[in-house]
C-alpha cells in the first residue's frame, strides 16, 4: 500500500477515532485491502456543491468525521463573513438515506458548539423546503443532508447561502479553502450547545404551502377535471411529507399512492436506484397506473427536488416523458397561460442550462420572454434569479435532469410545486375544450409542429475508483487535444470549451469569449444543427454525453416518422464519439 494511504489508515486507527470506526478499518485491512485503499487514497472533496460520496470509514467516504470537518470549515467561514452579526443562523434538513438523521444532528451540534444558532427540522423534509427555509427564517446558510437520486450506498451534504441557493463564486471556493484547513478531528468543536438548537417543522411547511398555492394558473380546470386520476410515488423519500398535501391543496381528489414506496427507507428496497430518470424506478408506479387506469404518474426522487412523469397516450398506454419533454411542456404551459392572464410583466425571463433542450428557448422567445443559458447545475439558475432580483421578473427555470422551478421563493429545483403545476397542466388540457380535449402527448406534438422536433439523448459511462478518475480525465484531455472534425457525417462547425471560456468557429477560424464561469465541459456543433455536450459529472463517478438533434415537422401525424430519423442520427453520433 502507498505510504501516504498507510499513514492515513494508521491515523484512523488512533484513539482520536471511535472504537466502531477503528474496528471497521481493521476489518477492511484484513478482508478487503482494495476497498481500504479506495477509502483512503484521497480526501472526499468538498466541491462547489458540498460533499457527496459512498458511506463508510475513510477520508474518501461520507462519515461522521468527514461531515464534521466540512461543518467546522463552514462554521469558520460563516463566522468570518458575518462577524458583525449578533448571531449567525443556519437551518438544516435531511432526507431518508441511511445516516442522514445522524449527519444532520452532528452538523447541528458542531455549529452550535461554534456559537451558531441552528434551526433543525424535526423530521425529514425535501430540499426545496430547506431552500425556502433559509430565506424564510432569515438564515445565513443552510445544509441539506442528501445524495439526491444516487444509489443507496451514497449520501451527501449540500450547502446553501443566505439567498436560498447553493454556493456559487466566491463563496463556494472560499468555503472549500476553510474546509481544507481542517486536517485533524481535533480541530472540530464537537461539544454541542443545546440552547442554540431549535427544532422546526410544520410552521415552515405552512409558510411554504402559502406560496405554492398562488402559483396555480387555472384552478377552475382542476375543479372541472374530475376524471383526472394521478398515481404518485416518493420512491421511499421525503416527497411523501409534502407532495400529497400539496396536490390535495390544489384540489386533486383522486391521487393513488404506490404504497410499497410510500414509507421513507434509505435501503430503497423496491428499486435498484431511486432515480425517476430511470424506467426501472417507475415499474411499480406504471403497474399501479394500469391497475387503476390513471392518466398521470408523478415520481419524485429521495429529496423531492426532481420529478419524473408518465402520461397516458393516444394508444391508451402509459408513456414516460424525459426531462426535456416535461420541461418543454411545463415552460409552454406556464408561459402561455401567464401571458393570457396578463402576468408576463416586468421584463420577464426564464432560465435553462446549456445541456437542456434548445426547444425551450424557441418557446420562450415566442412569448417575448428571454431565456438565459447557464452552466449545468441548478445553483446557476438560482444565481441568475438573484442577479436579476428587483429588476426583472423570473417566471420559470429548468434543466434536462428532471428539475424545475416556478416562482422564486425557492432557489433550487422544486418537485413539490412542479408536481402541482404538471397535474394542473394535465387537467387544463383535459377540459380546455371538451369537444377536442388534448392529452399531454398531443400538446407536445403540437409544440414540435410549431418549433421543430428536438430530440435528445443522454449516454453516461460510469468509471469508479482511482482508475476511473484517471480514465475520465484522459478522455476529456483527448477530446480537447483532438476534437472530431465530423460527427454523424456532418462537419463540426463550432466547438465551445467552457474550461477555456472560449467558443471556436471552426469554419472561419475565429473565437470569442463565453461569458460564464469556467467548467470542465465541451460542446460540439455540426452543420445540420446537432449539438453534442461532454462533461464529467460533478456528483457521480461518470462522464456524460448529451446529444441533441432537430428536424422540422409539419403535421402531428408525421412526428413518429421524424422521430425515427432523429433516433438514427443520435445513434450515428454515439458511434462516432
Q: What is the pLDDT of residues 197-249, one digit of tens each?
A: 999 999 999 999 999 999 999 999 999 998 899 999 999 999 999 999 999 99
CA 253 vs CA 210, 222, 247, 347: distances in Å: 19, 9, 8, 37
Residue the block writes with cell 414516460: 320
How much is the average pLDDT of 496-521? 95
SS3 for 407-459 is CCCCCCCCHHHHHHHHHHHHHHHHHCCHHHCCCHHHHHHHHHHHHCEEEEEEE
Report CA-CA distances (Å) from 242 to 12, 94, 190, 233, 539.
Answer: 41, 14, 33, 12, 26
Domains of the chain: 42-200 (3.40.120.10), 220-451 (3.40.120.10), 453-576 (3.30.310)
The single residue of 148, 401, 417, 548 carrying the catalytic annotation is: 148
- Mean pLDDT in residue range 556-570: 93
Task: Give per-residue pLDDT as tens, 490-500.
Answer: 999 999 999 99
Is the full-model pTM beyond 0.75?
yes
- Tell me what pLDDT residue 465 has: 77
Q: What whole-number percentage of the chain has pLDDT above 70?
A: 99
Residue in this structure with the C-alpha cell 420572454, named with its chain if needed: 369
Q: Is the pLDDT of residue 52 over 90?
A: yes
For this structure, is 96 an active site residue? no
What would the mean pLDDT of 303-321 be, rounded to a whole number? 97
**pLDDT the model gives residue 539:** 64
> Band of the pLDDT at 531, cuts 50, 70, 90?
very high
pLDDT in the model for residue 433: 64
The pLDDT assigned to 432 comes to 75
Q: How far apart are CA 170 and CA 172, in angstroms?
A: 6
pLDDT of residue 435: 58
> Sheet of 403-406: strands edge to edge?
370-374, 349-353, 394-399, 403-406
Q: What is the pLDDT of residue 464?
A: 80
Question: Does the pLDDT value for residue 434 go beyond 70?
Answer: no
Amino acid at each position: 500500500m502507498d505510504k501516504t494511504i498507510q499513514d492515513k489508515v494508521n491515523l484512523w486507527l488512533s484513539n482520536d477515532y471511535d472504537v466502531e470506526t477503528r474496528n471497521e478499518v481493521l476489518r477492511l485491512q484484513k478482508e478487503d485491502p482494495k476497498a481500504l485503499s479506495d477509502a483512503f487514497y484521497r480526501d472526499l472533496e468538498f466541491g462547489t456543491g458540498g460533499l457527496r460520496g459512498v458511506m463508510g470509514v475513510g477520508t474518501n467516504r461520507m462519515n461522521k468525521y468527514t461531515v464534521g470537518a466540512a461543518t467546522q470549515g463552514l462554521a469558520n467561514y460563516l463566522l468570518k463573513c458575518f462577524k458583525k452579526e449578533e448571531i449567525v443562523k443556519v437551518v438544516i434538513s435531511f432526507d431518508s438515506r441511511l445516516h442522514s438523521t445522524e449527519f444532520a444532528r452532528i452538523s447541528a451540534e458542531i455549529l452550535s458548539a461554534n456559537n451558531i444558532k441552528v434551526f433543525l427540522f424535526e423530521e425529514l423534509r425535501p430540499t426545496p423546503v430547506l431552500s425556502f427555509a433559509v430565506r424564510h427564517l432569515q438564515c445565513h446558510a443552510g445544509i441539506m443532508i442528501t445524495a439526491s437520486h444516487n444509489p443507496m450506498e451514497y449520501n451527501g451534504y449540500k450547502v446553501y447561502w443566505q439567498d436560498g441557493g447553493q454556493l456559487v463564486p466566491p463563496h463556494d471556493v472560499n468555503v472549500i479553502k476553510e474546509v481544507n484547513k481542517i486536517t485533524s478531528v481535533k480541530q472540530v468543536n464537537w461539544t454541542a450547545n443545546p440552547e442554540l438548537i431549535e427544532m422546526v417543522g410544520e410552521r415552515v411547511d405552512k409558510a411554504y404551502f402559502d406560496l405554492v398555492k398562488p402559483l396555480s394558473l387555472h384552478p377552475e380546470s382542476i375543479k372541472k377535471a374530475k376524471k383526472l386520476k394521478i398515481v404518485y410515488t416518493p420512491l421511499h423519500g421525503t416527497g411523501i411529507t409534502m407532495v400529497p398535501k400539496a396536490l390535495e391543496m390544489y384540489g386533486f381528489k383522486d391521487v393513488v399512492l404506490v404504497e410499497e414506496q410510500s414509507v421513507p427507507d434509505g435501503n430503497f428496497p423496491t428499486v435498484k436506484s431511486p432515480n425517476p430518470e430511470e424506467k426501472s424506478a417507475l415499474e411499480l408506479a406504471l403497474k399501479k397506473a394500469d391497475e387503476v387506469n390513471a392518466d398521470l404518474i408523478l415520481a419524485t426522487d429521495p429529496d423531492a427536488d426532481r420529478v419524473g412523469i408518465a402520461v397516458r397516450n393516444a394508444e391508451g398506454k402509459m408513456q414516460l416523458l424525459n426531462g426535456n419533454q416535461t420541461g418543454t411542456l411545463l415552460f409552454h404551459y406556464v408561459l402561455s397561460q401567464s401571458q393570457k392572464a396578463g402576468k408576463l410583466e416586468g421584463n420577464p425571463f426564464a432560465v435553462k442550462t446549456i445541456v437542456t433542450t434548445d426547444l425551450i428557448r424557441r418557446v420562450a422567445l415566442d412569448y417575448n420572454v428571454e431565456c438565459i443559458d447557464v452552466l449545468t447545475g441548478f445553483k446557476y439558475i438560482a444565481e441568475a434569479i438573484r442577479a436579476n432580483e428587483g429588476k426583472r421578473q423570473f417566471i420559470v427555470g429548468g434543466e434536462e435532469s428532471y428539475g424545475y422551478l416556478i416562482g422564486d421563493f425557492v432557489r433550487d429545483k422544486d418537485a413539490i410545486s412542479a408536481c402541482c403545476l404538471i397535474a394542473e397542466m394535465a387537467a387544463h388540457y383535459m377540459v380546455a375544450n371538451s369537444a377536442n380535449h388534448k392529452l399531454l402527448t398531443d400538446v407536445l406534438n403540437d409544440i414540435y409542429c410549431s418549433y421543430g422536433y428536438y430530440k435528445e439523448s443522454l449516454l453516461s459511462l460510469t468509471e469508479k475508483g482511482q482508475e476511473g478518475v484517471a480514465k475520465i480525465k484522459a478522455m476529456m484531455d483527448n477530446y480537447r487535444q483532438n476534437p472530431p472534425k465530423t460527427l454523424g457525417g456532418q462537419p463540426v462547425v463550432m466547438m465551445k470549451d467552457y474550461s477555456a471560456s472560449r467558443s471556436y468557429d471552426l469554419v472561419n477560424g475565429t473565437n470569442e469569449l463565453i461569458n460564464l464561469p469556467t467548467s470542465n465541459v465541451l460542446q460540439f456543433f455540426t452543420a445540420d444543427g446537432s449539438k453534442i455536450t461532454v462533461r464529467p459529472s460533478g456528483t457521480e463517478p461518470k462522464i456524460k454525453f448529451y446529444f441533441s438533434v432537430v428536424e422540422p415537422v409539419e403535421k402531428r401525424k408525421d412526428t413518429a416518422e421524424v422521430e425515427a430519423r432523429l433516433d438514427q442520427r443520435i445513434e450515428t453520433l454515439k458511434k462516432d464519439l
